Amino acid sequence: MEARLAFPQESPPLSIISAAKIAGVSIIIDPTLASGSVPTLHFSSGDFIHGVNTILRYIARAASVSSFYGQDDIQAAHVDQWLEYASVILSGSEFEVACSFIDGYLATRTFLVGYGLSIADIVVWSNLTGTGQRWESLRRSKKYQSLVRWFNSVAADYADTLDEVTSAYVGKRGIGKSPAPSLKEKMPGLKENASGHEIDLPGAKVGDVCVRFAPEPSGYLHIGHAKAALLNKYFAERYKGRLIVRFDDTNPSKESNEFVENVLKDIETLGVKYDVVTYTSDYFPKLMEMAESLIKQGKAYIDDTPKEQMRSERMDGVESKCRNSTVEENLLLWKEMVNGTKRGTQCCVRGKLDMQDPNKSLRDPVYYRCNPDPHHRVGSKYKVYPTYDFACPFVDALEGVTHALRSSEYHDRNAQYYRILQDMGLRRVEIYEFSRLNMVYTVLSKRKLLWFVQNKKVEDWTDPRFPTVQGIVRRGLKIEALIQFILEQGASKNLNLMEWDKLWTINKKIVDPVCGRHTAVLKDKCVLLTLTNGPEEPFVRILPRHKKHEGAGKKATTFANRIWLEYADASVISVGEEVTLMDWGNAIIREIKTDNGTVTQLVGELHLEGSVKMTKLKLTWLSDIEDLVSLSLVDFDYLINKKKLEEDEDFLDNLNPCTRREALALGDPNMRNVKKGEVIQLERKGYYRCDVPFVRSSKPIMLFAIPDGRQKSTSIVTGA
């Protein structure tokens, strides 16, 4: 299957290009990505994969060369280690240290892995070659003879292919910025030591890893969930393991099928490929059996202590009066709970752990509660439901999960997780922590997001002001940008408050090289400029929608002797001033008509031989023709007005009073063809996503302003 390899022109991924040619994997070269972007392989199916190492692994698996990914799983793991280590080759002062290490490694070897050429050899060879003169100087010095022997052998065996690649992409100074993987592409959790790389995913074995993404169906996925989903996907792929999507549907009061359907939609949008979808509710019978078993073993008990009193006792380490009830008494009350009787609804099941433990999560946590609300999948069959703390370790163990990825906010509950598994007599599941993703001016609590929906502060869960996956995509974010943003952070445990500007900057680098350009003029007090020597009859020129990207197509631009300018532009022009009309030429303003100090009309003449370099004002304009379309330009602001809310602060006290602004404008006729979801640039205004396309002349096209990472988008005034 032929694929297109996109990368920035100044930093070609030499290892990918070389490996593809040697492996016989057909790729089309597309050096059009914005500077700093991650190499991406696009397939004809519409699918794509990001990052140097991810693409290299795909090539290795698709190769016609039998040993390209090693001869067995152990060799494949060694290949993976070399892919990670190769990035050290181009890391400044460590270059010679890396060369020395590889030289010693190759002293008794012909190839880096096994007894044949693998992709590991190509990656290290390419990274050395990519440094240009730096490697050539060491090569001539005969300092690292084993490394040079190996390098020359690979070069000779594949001379035609490698010579073609290096002559095309490598100069004397090398290929510039390293194409090797940055932190965003390295496997999170790898650490270096004297003996090489040590995998920090506890007990992980290639082919045996099973991870799970377990959202609660009580809302749509937001950017924080996206991080968890993508990290689980990353580890499943990295270790050639399984990924389970499991809905933690244990609270019928908050959950619905709408949320299930949209979470699955969001997972698909993120490009997460999973092996199976399961539900905690599938295990309700077994969970109830386990709860009853723990009661019989004296490891759990029924408690009817009022909720607030129970919370206070747990904080103070005070044992409940029910803690030492007999097994028979507990089983009777458990039956009342299962039947949902009035007495049963006053009770809950608690684990008998340790009320004196400094870690308060171990102070007899709640395992089961009564809830009379019908469940979205099983209806009213059950009157009792397990808590997350009880159900999660149980189902993890039953489903064969080897590593449970959890955000570090749950750190204090890790001991509880392991203790509950131990009391249940189930195998250990390793917990792997990563930092929760926090964004400035943003609440990610689903309870708080639900408040905005229920109180009509937003349209719904897909509102462009929301941090949900559907919300930010509707705002104009490309999913490639979100993936790149999240993978840059890896599985770090450091808590960070992230800026939205960084995410939108990545997004701009993706959309700017390809999105079509159009023109809009704000309707408010727009000013007519009459060109006395303009064309007697309007004429049309076919111009590119994007001057540097043919794929954006063409647009028809009408030139006439009466054109519209925005008031903000017209109000700063002086009589006799020469200005540039973009995509046309210069004009000289001869007369300015005003009404009580407000500019109402301009008169000028074309001066097309004038130099555009000499003018201060470069103006967007639209010919005064009937075909202009109506636009509604919508700009958004944060829902809260404080960068970071402290734990004791109520978000309701920090609501932003104005989060949506709208301005009417005139647009060029070509915008009739802009599709829903398409991203365009309005010249001198910024980037916009089409939310409502052209339907009829009386209904405006609705465009949502997309932040560019530099400044707040400005649909109300003309941008610079």
Q: Facing residues of 709 across strands?
A: none
- Residue 598 backbone phi and psi in degrees, to 5: -95, 125
The alpha helices in 270-340, defined as continuous H runs, are 284-296, 307-316, 327-339
The whole-angstrom distance between residue 691's C-alpha and the CA centroid of its chain comes to 21
Q: 403 is written with which tokens?
A: 């590593």
* Torsion region of 412: left, alpha or beta (phi above 0 gives left; psi -120 to 50 gives alpha): alpha
Pairing of strands 527-531, 562-565: antiparallel
Report the distance separating Cα 203 and Cα 206, nearest Å: 10
Report the distance separating Cα 60 and Cα 44, nearest Å: 19
Unique residue bearing structure tokens 């492996």: 23
Pairing of strands 210-213, 496-498: unpaired
The alpha helices in 241-399, defined as continuous H runs, are 257-269, 284-296, 307-316, 327-339, 388-398
Q: 401 is written with which tokens?
A: 């999960």
CB 562 within 8 A of CB 531: yes
Is 590 noted as a catalytic residue in this protein?
Answer: no
Report the distance separating Cα 432 and Cα 341, nearest Å: 41
Is 699 noted as a catalytic residue in this protein?
Answer: no
| Catalytic residue from among 323, 436, 590, 672 | 436
The three-class DSSP label of residue 37 is coil
Which DSSP symbol is given to 306? Answer: -
489 Cβ partners below 8 Å, 6+ apart?
Answer: 184, 227, 435, 437, 496, 498
| Catalytic residue from among 21, 84, 185, 216 | 216
The three-class DSSP label of residue 47 is coil
Gap between the terminal Cα atoms of the chain = 44
Report the distance separating Cα 432 and Cα 322, nearest Å: 35
Report the distance separating Cα 149 and Cα 298, nearest Å: 69
Amino acid present at 148: V
Report the distance separating Cα 653 and Cα 562, nearest Å: 51
Unique residue bearing structure tokens 């197509």: 553
Helices 479-489 and 500-511: crossing angle in degrees, nearest 10, is 130
Is 488 noted as a catalytic residue in this protein?
Answer: no
Report the distance separating Cα 396 and Cα 176, nearest Å: 47
Which DSSP symbol is given to 87? Answer: G
Minimal CA–CA distance to 479: which of 230, 211, 276? 230
| Catalytic residue from among 363, 413, 446, 517 | 446
Q: What is the maximal distance between C-alpha atoms in the chain?
A: 101
Minimal CA–CA distance to 120: which of 77, 177, 163, 156? 77
Exposure pattern of 673-691 as b/e (b: 16+ CB <10 Å)?
A: ebeeebbbbbbbbbbbbbb
User: Which residue numbers are catalytic?
Assistant: 216, 436, 446
